[in-house]
Amino acid sequence: MLMIPWARAKTAESIPDRPCDIVFAGGLTDPKLPESEIQKANLEFPLDIIERTRSRPGTRYLTLGTILERFPEACSSNPYLKSKLELGRAISSLAAESLNNGRFLHIRLHTLYGGVIQRHMFLGQLATAIEKDTEFKMSAGTQLREYHHVDDIAVALDHILARAWQTSEIDLNSGEAVRLAEVAKAVFESFGKTHLLRIGALPTPAGENIDRVFERSSGFFLPVSRRPIPGIIEWLRRNLRQA
């Protein structure tokens, strides 16, 4: 298996000329970055590598997307989501061209935690407010999210890569959706800083998931998953300077 993060220096020539699984494991997730850079990292880069190497027999390609691809209205106003939606569609087209021969797979992930805190994301914004003891303004928080620990997703990906692919797309769902307001309340309460939380101070973005709870994926695809809110709190406590 070859893990390929976003890096301009990575070229098709550096990929071994033998059958292998190529996993596009990274990209740009901050929607405030220039859209052209997001498109290059998240869409053009993997498609270029695929085009340059797909003639190598036995090579398989796994791309990682987001479950929010299921909500096109949200994608239309978010360059990061848009790039992942377009990537998923491109992989589906490649699979169809190849008569779904088990070489192309796009996996839609929910929100991850457990690694480095990404300050531009919702949990990262919570973390910054707690560290700096500053007011945190958010929407009504009715959006539904699943949060998965990176280690649990790593187990799932290992599980999937070890087998033949019978499909070109998979959603990895725990079935344990929580609302953003629940997450924010629990996190700020755990740090004794509920006075900083301002729920309802911002509008809810258009096209968000308000009512769809995804059915849990089979144990074949997602062997393990942990309870999200306790896991998030433990992770933040371990990583914040005030923990």
Q: pLDDT for 92-134, tens place per residue?
A: 999 999 887 899 999 999 999 999 999 999 999 999 999 999 9
Same domain, yes or no: 95 and 77: yes
Pairing of strands 197-199, 136-138: parallel
* Residue 98: per-residue pLDDT: 86
Same domain, yes or no: 46 and 121: no
Confidence of residue 8 (pLDDT cuts 50, 70, 90): very low
Summary mean pLDDT of the chain: 93
Domain enclosing residue 237, as ranges: 114-146+177-243
Query: What digits encode the pLDDT tens for the residues 150-195?
Result: 999 999 999 999 999 999 999 999 999 999 999 999 999 999 999 9
φ, ψ dihedrals at 62, nearest 5°: -120, 120
| pTM for this predicted structure | 0.92
How many domains does one find in the chain?
Answer: 2
**SS3 (DSSP) at 43:** helix
Same domain, yes or no: 190 and 242: yes
Same domain, yes or no: 5 and 68: yes
Q: How far is CA 231 from CA 56, 116, 148, 225, 237, in A?
A: 41, 14, 9, 10, 10
Same domain, yes or no: 81 and 126: no
Residue 61 lies inside a defined structural domain of this protein: yes
Torsion angle of the four alpha carbons 185, 186, 191, 192, in this order, in degrees rounded to the nearest 10: 60
Same domain, yes or no: 52 and 139: no
Residue 166 lies inside a defined structural domain of this protein: no
Same domain, yes or no: 23 and 78: yes
Pairing of strands 21-24, 60-66: parallel
Burial class (CB in 10 A: 0-12, 13-18, 19+), 125: middle
Residue 95 lies inside a defined structural domain of this protein: yes
Give the end of a domain, one of 109, 137, 165: 109
Same domain, yes or no: 39 and 134: no
* Angle at 226 (CA atoms; ends 169, 220), nearest 5 degrees: 40
* Residue 13: per-residue pLDDT: 64
Same domain, yes or no: 86 and 127: no
Q: Please, what's the b/e burial string for 75-108 (b: 16 or more CB within 10 A of its CB; e: otherwise)? A: beebbbbbbbbbbbebbeebbeeeeeeebbbbbb
What CATH number did the domain enclosing 126 receive?
A: 3.90.25.10
